[in-house]
Copies of this chain bind each other. A is one copy, B any other.
Amino acid sequence: MRGFRTDLAMESIGDSKGRLEGVVVDQQQLGEISRTRIVIEDHRASEALSRPCGEYITLSCRSLSRCDAENRRRLIQLVAQAVRAMLPREGEILVVGLGNRNVTADALGTRVVEKLLVTRHLHEALADELLGKLRGVSAIAPGVLGVTGIETAELCRGLIEHVKPAAVIAIDALAAYESARICTTVQITDTGIEPGSGVGNHRLGLTRDTLGVKVIAVGVPMVVYASTIARDAVTNLMEDYGLMQDTQSEAGQLLLQKVSESYLGEMVVTPREIDELVLSVADLLSEGLNRALQPNLDTETLHTFLHG
C-alpha cells in the first residue's frame, strides 16, 4: 500500500490481485469492457486495504463517453445488472446525488439525479396495472455542507425517516490514483460512501451505520489530486535510480510528504474537456440506473415517462 489517495477498491488492491487473503477477485472481458468483481470478505483484509467489507464491481473501458453504440449499450446493461443485483427485491428506493452542482468535477451526482425517472409521487395518479410494474423512486441532490450548512448524511437521515426507502443509492464523483482512470471506470459497491471520499471530501459517510438502510454507491473518477501526480512522478524516479530504499527511509518519507502537502493542496488534475465528460457520463449512469430501478418498463416506455 502506497498511501496515495484513491476511491477505487481496484486501485487499492493494486498488483496483489487475488493473492490477498480474504479478498476474492474475478475478472471478465466483455468486448472492450473489462468487469472486475472484488469481494473483501473479512476484517483483516478490510483493514489491510482500509476499505469496508463488501462487494465492489468495477467496469472499465477506453472511454465511458466515447465508446461506440454497441459498447455503450453493453456498459448501460452492466451498470443496470450490478445495481439490480445489490438492490432489495421490494420497497421504494431513494437516490442521493452527492457533490456540488456548481463545481464541474464534483457535479456528477447532481447531473445523474436530474435524469432519473422519479415515480414515488405518481402512485396515486397511475392506473393499477401500470402501478404494479413501477418501483417507487425518489431522488434528491441536496448540495454540499459549505452551501447548505447541513451534513448530507444528517439531511438524508431526516428524509429517510419520512420516505422510508428499502435502500439508498448514492452517486458521487470519485478521486483516483491513476489519471488514466478518469472517465474510464465505474465503481458500484454495496458498502456505501466512506468518510473522506469523493471529489468533495464528505466528512460523514453514507453507510448502513449512518443511514439505517443499505447504501449502494455508484461512482466514476473525475479527478486525480495533483499531489498524487507529483508523488507518483517522484516515486517512479526513485525506483529508476535505485533510491527505493530511500522512499522507505525517514528522509524519503519526508520528501514525499513535502510533495503531497505542498502548494498543490487541493489542486486537482482533470481532463480539459471535463464539462462535456460529466454530462456524457451522467447520461450513461442514469440510463443504467433507470433500467436497474424499473426492470418492467421497456426502453420506449421509459423514454415516454421521462420526456413525454
Contact = CB atoms under 8 A, between A and B. Distances in A.
A67 B155 CA distance: 33
A2 interface: no
A89 interface: no
A121 B105 contact: no
Number of copies of this chain that the complex holds: 4
Contact of A150 (B68, B114, B163, B273): B163
B68 A264 contact: no
Interface in A254-273: 255, 259, 263-264, 266-273
Contacts of A103: 272-276
A146 interface: yes
A255 B275 contact: no
A102 B114 contact: yes
A209 interface: no
A25 to B, nearest CB: 24
Contacts of A157: 162
Nearest to A241: B243
Interface string A231-251: 111100110110100000000
Contacts of A300: 68-69
Contact of A266 (B158, B163, B226, B271): B271
A97 to B, nearest CB: 10
A272 B226 contact: no
A11 to B, nearest CB: 15
Nearest to A273: B103
Contacts of A270: 267-268, 270
A150 B307 contact: no
Contacts of A137: 149
Interface in A36-84: 63, 65-69
Contacts of A141: 143
Contacts of A223: 272
Interface of A: 63, 65-69, 102-106, 113-114, 118-122, 136-143, 145-151, 154-155, 157-163, 178-180, 182, 199, 223-224, 226, 229-234, 237-238, 240-241, 243, 255, 259, 263-264, 266-276, 280, 300, 303-304, 307-308
26 contacts: A67-B308, A68-B303, A69-B300, A102-B114, A102-B275, A103-B275, A104-B104, A114-B147, A118-B146, A120-B149, A121-B145, A121-B151, A138-B150, A142-B142, A150-B159, A150-B162, A179-B226, A199-B272, A226-B226, A230-B230, A233-B233, A237-B237, A241-B243, A266-B271, A267-B269, A268-B269
